Structure 1
């Protein structure tokens, strides 16, 4: 054997041994990736922690979190069956029923909006009643249009009493900040944009409507049927995220702020307006009862209201809208 050949054999053996002894940085996950959508809302920013800290991998589930710059785009993509699940509010989920791929099913409550959804007006407008005849920029038919409709109803007005200028929420906030409209319906981080207008004030928020805007994880009925164990692992991962947030607040806020595209210090102003749900609050939300804290009751109430204001033509079939089995297993464990 020549010296050159011997050296080549020794080098090859060294490579084989190095590969054999090395450990993969993350476990190999089987199956097609489950694609879940999320967008720019404070209650959904924590999913970025699951990505950054590899918490899905820790639980042995192959998940791709797909970020959407537009909230409506995320819902349309899910309703068309192009992703396996999405982060959306209860009223908006009702709007998009039944959806493709076995329907849309709620498996987790992330949070309730507790003030972060806002109707913001210029300095000359001090109340919802004073919006009559004014121009309001809002993303039509979705969450803050719903909040606007609730607030108008409380003062004896309707959407017909204001001039609705429909546009995506980010554009709506920019238009208001530039003085192009009298008021805007928005959520973080776009409320921050709107408040840059001199004299801008909040005249209504989700704080006055507890339980009206639950923020959820919805998945397709087909995913539950075909991969129930993976859905369980996804729900489990959310609680690992919440545990990480409790133990590592500064790192968590940095990850979420980066995902939201805002300075870390700006995140502080949104914390109180997002009330994250505990496991017990999830169990209550999935239960039967009278009151907006119970989603089966809330969904019927929302659907009735949404039909009355023309958001949807009729109440959809909601008999399979909620699946509490996954949160119950987390609670039992």
Structure 2
């Protein structure tokens, strides 16, 4: 069960804590002042060690490759070692074990790893929302969620596809228990559906391309129907915020510089992102369509309190309840310090938003 995997994961992190601490026992850089009203610049690059930041293969995170390729980290005062992970789960584990200072991850995964994170995890930026890149794909004879009841659906329990399926079922008056869950890693789930071993699959990009290879397959539900349900984020450690807040601000500033570069240089930006994603420029366009990149205004809204999935504090509570209900985590974590909007607010104030 995934719960047992969770406890094993926690044990691994705790066992590695002494190693992590010894690796970081060299002299710490002095604590920096809180972000000010002036923008950072290349001359303000932090003199401490590089901020080690992880990212992996998702359309909303590929733009970070532009920052590295075009020198935008340095231009915005960020001293960064950007680390690519072929496996997304490995980046989550590295972040929780304190081996990264920042990482790109979804809100639900941040919630699920929160109690295991040895240096704390804090959401400081929304990169994007999934807007169709997460899907429930079914066989030709399934035309509705009612038709899906009692059928076998492959998915990775407790992660975004499972959450999307549960939202769709509950909105239509059904329970998750009314479908037959086949728990598989996401890539294996897509392969199982393509091989006609199950009736449906809940999957995210780019794995949905594999699932749709099955003759007669089609989309039944997508994340476009649930705005805000699957936000993709930049998460930093609480330690980085406490000790080097200027570097956190520089990361946020860099992101918006990247978005400006994409707007001004679309062909060059697509070239860099396609290379990083190992897809063609044509395939990149398809994957970009299901990703809604967030503006600064949308960031401010996402961090605000409210009663919809567009408000991250509300969404995090609902996600935590869901993960406890499916036995993915043993209890709801303390989320009182999960969100820190000062860095996006600072950027907005300096840029007149």
TM-score normalized with structure 1 length? 0.86
Superposed CA RMSD: 2.0
**Residue 275 of structure 1 aligns with which residue?**
292
Deviation per residue, 1:186-210 (Å, 9 max, x gap) = 2222112221221110101111111
Choose the corresponding residue for 1:183, options 184, 200, 223: 200
Q: Which structure's CA Rg is the greater one? A: 1
Query: Where in structure 1 are there 5+ consecutive unaligned residues?
Result: 1-25
Classify 1:184/1:95 alpha carbon distance in 2 versus 1 (closer, same or farther; 3 Å).
same
| Count of paired positions | 308
Cα distance in structure 1, aligned partners of 2:71 and 2:294: 22
- Alignment of 1:86 with 2:106, yes or no, is no
Cα distance in structure 2, aligned partners of 1:178 and 1:92: 28
Choose the corresponding residue for 1:226, options 226, 243, 252: 243
- Alignment of 1:325 with 2:348, yes or no, is no
**Residue 71 of structure 2 aligns with which residue?**
54
Residue 281 (structure 1) shift: 1.1
Matching of residues 39-188 of structure 1 within 5 Å? 39-188=56-205
TM-score normalized with structure 2 length? 0.82
- Alignment of 1:263 with 2:273, yes or no, is no
**Residue 38 of structure 1 aligns with which residue?**
55
Matching of residues 190-209 of structure 1 within 5 Å? 190-209=207-226
Cα distance in structure 2, aligned partners of 1:129 and 1:287: 35
Matching of residues 234-253 of structure 1 within 5 Å? 234-253=251-270
Classify 1:140/1:304 alpha carbon distance in 2 versus 1 (closer, same or farther; 3 Å).
closer
Deviation per residue, 1:133-159 (Å, 9 max, x gap) = 322222221111111222222334434
- Alignment of 1:302 with 2:302, yes or no, is no
Deviation per residue, 1:28-56 (Å, 9 max, x gap) = 87322222222221111111111221211
Matching of residues 1-16 of structure 1 within 5 Å? none
- SS of the residue corresponding to residue 106 of structure 1 reads strand
- SS of the residue corresponding to residue 271 of structure 1 reads helix
Cα distance in structure 2, aligned partners of 1:305 and 1:100: 20
